[in-house]
Structure 1
Amino acid sequence: MLNKLANNATRLLEAISYQLIVTLEYCHALAKGQTLWLEYYGDVTVSGEVQVEVKDFVEDLTDGHINFWNTLKNWMSPNFKQAKYSELILLTTQTYGAASKLRHWNQLTVQEKLDLLQGVLDQSEARNSASVDKPSRAVQAQRFVMAKERRQTLLDVIEKVHILTDEPDLVTRADRVKSVHCKGVHPDKHDDYFRAMMGFLIDPEKSKNGWKVGYEDFDLQIASLNALYGRHSRRFPIVDKSLFKDNVGEPSYSERLFVKKLHEIKYPTKVPTAILEHMVAVHTISSEFQRFNLEKDDIDRYKEEQLNRHVSLRAAAMRKCRREPKEYWCDESKSFFDLRCGETPDKIPTFDDTSLDFRNGIWHMLADDEDEVDSEKLHWRLW
């Protein structure tokens, strides 16, 4: 499949992506105990059942097309154990050519298939004899397939060959997979779920054993992703912090109150992390929480509990700090900050866990609230 358009990187990546999507479909069809092999025996192979050659091409599938004949040649190779499979599938995005007799292939008997193939070779040889050019790759493949010494292998192979044409293009096939296999996943997370599945298939760890996917491994992967992206998941949403790193240095943050409170204890090295955690918390509340059964009151209650606990712990730390000379108060405040930010996060009732970035981000949100007279706010200074 990968021996085409070598100088067109975009087209090559599309072809690889298409093959992976087909692989994902066959992974979902695995039965207990079965194993799928990717690019080991062929494009997609399900142990003891089916071998699939995937072709993502634009031009029509004609009787003499290299795709078809090369696929037959591969299946007739001495290294390919076709006897292990009950079905050999050529899956292609191509449409049959207007005059193509291959369009009837799936309904033909073995003898009728053989006659069709012989007719194609005869026409190719007639054209070739009238030309001074050397035989094309397609004609060479035809000669290999139709060689008398390989006739029994050919008969065994074509009995199992099934052609699937007019398959959906890359985008359409991806959308179909999301629609069919993302049931139970929140609609906003279909793309994330799909990308995670594709990433699972190309995990370099799989190369150690020949790029294989077992039923049990795939079942565990589905369970893990459903726990993460499912409509009723109790897993705390994971936010990709790299999405926000480029914005950490925005000048507007230098005037934010939560940043000033870190400068107040002379701890500027913690500012970039604090800004990133603040962004994570804001994004989680405004975007990620929308797919959970979580009310604003739940978030407000969590923030209130975090503030109350912080005020209590800070009061105790302040009494201890005041026993030290004033020149050590900033260092004591820094230690207080570090200890607090390293504590195990309290959970929000909706989830089984809560991320450290989110919890710390909540503190920075609380620290960003405007100070009011006679109103407790979140501070890091111990004076």
Structure 2
Amino acid sequence: MTSKSDASTNILGFKYQEMVALKESLDAKDGSKIYLECFGDISDGITSTEIKHSINEDKKLIDTHIDFWKTLSNIITEYDTFRFYDKFILHTTAEVKIGSIFEKWNELKKNEKCAKILAVKSNKTISQYYSNVVKFDKSNLESILEKFVIKSNQQSAKEYYQEILINHSAIKNLIKRNERESFLNYLLGYISSELINSDSYLWEIDIDSFRANFQSYANRYQIDDLSFPVSNASANSNTTNNFYFVKELQNIEYVNKIGSSMSNYLKASESQIKMIQERLSLYETLDNYDEDIRDLVIELKESHLDQLTKNCDIKEKSRRFFDESINQISSKTTIDGVAGVRPYYPKGRLLHNIEEKYIVLNLNSEDES
């Protein structure tokens, strides 16, 4: 008779499968689909993954472990379908036993894997699966084993829930810390509902639909704007000449602007790093912000070029171009998702564009800006 604790551990195994499927959904490419209990516990039509969870922390993956032999046997049974797959994964919380055939498994060549498993002595536990394997065409068996990866010693259900899912960047960067668990439980409920609401009883996660629901629900947990991380970085005179924008300022004889430019550049760089570290989701926003600065200044440069005359002082005109660029972009202190942006940030990002050679200060330069 199955005890209540046995039933609970079995249910936990199914919940663990849903948790792994959720992570796969969070990481999946747009337009793809994730299947549960169809060609493996989890499949995307390219990779088939078997999920094995145990509450026994000391469980070892030994030569005759049923999880491996049953998984391999199932692939062989459905070979006409599985032969088109790129990878087979055994995701298990068990640890590979030292000295077993699975030690350094993922580093072995296909013929080495094949030789090891065929040398295993069968027992009552794996006999039916073992028989299916050894009778299979050796060339096709090697083809399967070449794609067969073992991910052992994976996090238990509780660890996976807390360390992998709650701290997943897709959740961590959008949802406040004290609300992440509530949001995560909604997502796990969504995974279950896709089977409940399926007319065909095919457990399928359409990633585009998943993302739409994810974003819609995330909007209810809209995270507060990040407070702009103020930098107090200061310039080191010994490294000043290492920067390209310094050489540009020297080239147009604007040496008295080097000190303030260095300060703005270093502060803006440090603030940007801190913003991305705090909220990775801002990376694209900040990249687009730099492009906006670049576009504005390049457009401004065109107007300055149009005003050049044959005998004008090019370097003086270049200095005026730099001054006006600083004046125009210094008020661009609005960044979506960030509050309290300091004026040094746009100035520093202008200098970043110069440093990356997207913008050339000398109006007489033949370089593209």
TM-score range normalised by the length of the shorter chain? 0.5 to 0.7
Q: Is the 8 A contact 1:87 1:161 kept in 2?
A: yes
Q: How far did 1:209 drift?
A: 5.3
Q: Could you tell me which of 5, 16, 19 is aligned with 1:18?
A: 16
The reply on whether 1:52 has 2:39 as its aligned counterpart is no
SS of structure 2 residue aligned to 1:52: strand
Show the counterpart of 1:252: none
Show the counterpart of 2:177: 187
* Residues 9/207 of structure 1: CA separation in 2 closer, same or farther (3 Å cut): farther
Show the counterpart of 1:42: 40
* Residues 29/5 of structure 1: CA separation in 2 closer, same or farther (3 Å cut): farther
More divergent stretch after superposition (168-177 vs 98-107): 98-107
1:147-175 CA-to-partner distances (Å, cap 9, x unmatched) read 1x433331221111000000001111001
Q: How far did 1:140 drift?
A: 2.1
Could you tell me the percent identity over the aligned residues?
21
SS of structure 1 residue aligned to 2:35: strand
Distance 2:103 2:158 in 1: 25
Q: Is the 8 A contact 1:60 1:95 kept in 2?
A: yes
Show the counterpart of 1:145: 133
* Residues 6/45 of structure 1: CA separation in 2 closer, same or farther (3 Å cut): farther
Distance 2:125 2:29 in 1: 38
Distance 1:191 1:12 in 2: 23
Aligned pairs for 1:155-304 (under 5 A) are 155-176=142-163, 177-180=165-168, 181-183=170-172, 184-203=174-193, 204-206=196-198, 208=200, 210-232=202-224
Show the counterpart of 1:154: 141
Show the counterpart of 1:262: none
SS of structure 2 residue aligned to 1:137: coil
Instruction: Please tell me the residue identity of whatever aligns with 1:186.
Output: K
Q: Is the 8 A contact 1:5 1:12 kept in 2?
A: no
* Residues 111/79 of structure 1: CA separation in 2 closer, same or farther (3 Å cut): closer
Instruction: Please tell me the residue identity of whatever aligns with 2:48.
Output: Q
* Residues 5/221 of structure 1: CA separation in 2 closer, same or farther (3 Å cut): farther
TM-score (norm 2): 0.55
Distance 1:170 1:114 in 2: 32
Q: How far did 1:5 drift?
A: 8.7
Q: Is the 8 A contact 1:52 1:90 kept in 2?
A: yes
SS of structure 2 residue aligned to 1:11: helix
1:183-205 CA-to-partner distances (Å, cap 9, x unmatched) read 21022211111110000001011
TM-score (norm 1): 0.53
* Residues 232/7 of structure 1: CA separation in 2 closer, same or farther (3 Å cut): closer
Aligned pairs for 1:74-85 (under 5 A) are 74-78=74-78, 81-85=81-85
Q: How far did 1:110 drift?
A: 0.8
Q: Is the 8 A contact 1:5 1:11 kept in 2?
A: no
Distance 1:54 1:91 in 2: 5
1:330-364 CA-to-partner distances (Å, cap 9, x unmatched) read xxxxxxxxxxxxxxxxxxxxxxxxxxxxxxxxxxx
The reply on whether 1:73 has 2:73 as its aligned counterpart is yes
SS of structure 2 residue aligned to 1:91: strand
* Residues 92/102 of structure 1: CA separation in 2 closer, same or farther (3 Å cut): same
* Residues 188/7 of structure 1: CA separation in 2 closer, same or farther (3 Å cut): closer
Show the counterpart of 2:64: 64
Q: How far did 1:139 drift?
A: 2.3
How many residue pairs get aligned? The number is 216
Q: Is the 8 A contact 2:101 2:117 kept in 1?
A: no
Instruction: Please tell me the residue identity of whatever aligns with 2:65.
Output: H
CA RMSD across the alignment: 2.1
Q: How far did 1:219 drift?
A: 0.8
Instruction: Please tell me the residue identity of whatever aligns with 2:133.
Output: V
SS of structure 1 residue aligned to 2:150: strand
Q: Is the 8 A contact 1:74 1:80 kept in 2?
A: no
SS of structure 2 residue aligned to 1:162: strand
Gaps (5+ residues) in structure 1?
Answer: 125-134, 234-383
Distance 1:213 1:151 in 2: 35
Q: Is the 8 A contact 2:89 2:150 kept in 1?
A: yes
Distance 1:209 1:62 in 2: 35
Gaps (5+ residues) in structure 2?
Answer: 226-369
Q: How far did 1:79 drift?
A: 6.4
Distance 2:17 2:11 in 1: 10
Q: Is the 8 A contact 2:32 2:44 kept in 1?
A: yes
Distance 1:78 1:40 in 2: 11
Distance 1:232 1:214 in 2: 30
SS of structure 1 residue aligned to 2:219: helix
* Residues 106/185 of structure 1: CA separation in 2 closer, same or farther (3 Å cut): same
Distance 1:91 1:191 in 2: 24
Distance 2:8 2:141 in 1: 35
Instruction: Please tell me the residue identity of whatever aligns with 2:96.
Output: Y
Which of the pair has more CA radius of gyration?
1
Instruction: Please tell me the residue identity of whatever aligns with 2:119.
Output: G
Show the counterpart of 1:308: none
